[in-house]
């Protein structure tokens, strides 16, 4: 299953008051495993950068003015996410900002049906416990050493690891990936083809004799003979069906 884990950075907390998106980071995951495909852009917000927001992400007005405006990158973003489910932490915040940007471009909003909020998932799984991204990384042993400031792509990568844990852990994710690969292989005929000629036995005559002696000493009617009768030795009576 393809999903997109994403995060945004903004100039503030409320798009209705003129705050804008300044960074988008998105990570493609297939059956909870990052595929290696990412989307990352800085965005010129066409406005100043409040000091409070700058302290969070460190993106200055001067730096952002050298990058494309949202109208110039929105097509690439839509192409990347396609119609896949979208995973975000405190998704209402990020989706509200993206939908405000879409509205400025006269584009339809993201459907709530495709949004997965990991904050809500964490609160259901761990009621009463801290549910910030930092707290969840610490709970699940996700390395936070790279994170000195918020960054959309970095946070999306961390969230992809946390999301896998919220969905059952890394082992569950690996199992899902294995099943997916096996099914694709089966469809293309790449897996488990029958050998044209059976392999020759590697047992020596001594090993076969030792095996026969061992079986004879167990019982005249081993349980497995009910399902796969062994070869009858000379003078040996067939096993009882009892």
Tell me the Ramachandran region of residue 192: left when phi exceeds 0, alpha when psi lies from -120 to 50, beta otherwise: left
The Cα 130–Cα 174 span in angstroms is: 27
Average pLDDT over residues 57-83: 97
Catalytic option among 40, 67, 126, 150? 150
**Residue keyed to tokens 């904050």:** 119
Whether the full predicted model's pTM is greater than 0.85, yes or no, is no
Mean pLDDT (the chain, rounded): 85
pLDDT at 76 > cutoff 80:
yes
pLDDT over 90, % of the chain = 67
Instruction: Please name each of the domains of the chain with its CATH number.
Output: 2-188 (3.30.420.10)
| CB atoms near residue 174 (< 10 Å) | 14
Average pLDDT over residues 176-189: 42
User: Is 40 an active-site residue?
Assistant: no
Average pLDDT over residues 42-70: 97
Of 2, 1, 7, nearest in space to 158 by CA: 7
pLDDT digits (tens, 9 = 90+) for 192-215: 455 566 667 777 888 788 877 777
pLDDT for the residue numbered 213: 79
pLDDT digits (tens, 9 = 90+) for 137-160: 999 999 988 776 789 999 999 999
């Amino acid at each position: 299953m393809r999903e997109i884990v994403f995060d945004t950075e903004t100039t503030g907390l409320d798009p209705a008051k003129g705050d804008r998106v300044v960074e988008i980071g998105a990570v493609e995951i297939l059956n909870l495993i990052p595929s290696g495909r990412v989307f990352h852009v800085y965005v010129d917000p066409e406005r100043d950068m409040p000091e409070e927001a700058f302290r969070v992400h460190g993106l200055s007005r001067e730096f952002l003015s050298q990058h494309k405006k949202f109208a110039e990158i929105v097509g690439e973003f839509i192409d990347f996410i396609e119609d896949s489910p979208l995973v975000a932490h405190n998704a209402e915040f990020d989706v509200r900002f993206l939908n405000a940007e879409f509205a400025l471009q006269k584009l339809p909003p993201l459907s709530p049906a495709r949004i997965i909020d990991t904050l809500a998932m964490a609160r259901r799984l761990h009621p009463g416990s801290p549910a910030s991204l930092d707290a969840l990384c610490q709970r699940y042993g996700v390395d936070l050493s790279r994170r000195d400031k918020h960054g959309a792509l970095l946070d999306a990568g961390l969230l992809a690891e946390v999301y896998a844990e919220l969905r059952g852990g890394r082992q569950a994710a690996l199992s899902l990936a294995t099943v997916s690969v096996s099914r694709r292989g089966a469809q293309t005929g790449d897996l488990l083809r029958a050998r044209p000629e059976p392999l020759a036995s590697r047992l020596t005559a001594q090993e076969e004799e030792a095996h026969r002696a061992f079986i004879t000493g167990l019982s005249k009617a081993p349980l497995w003979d009910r399902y796969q009768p062994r070869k009858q030795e000379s003078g040996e009576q067939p096993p009882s069906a009892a």
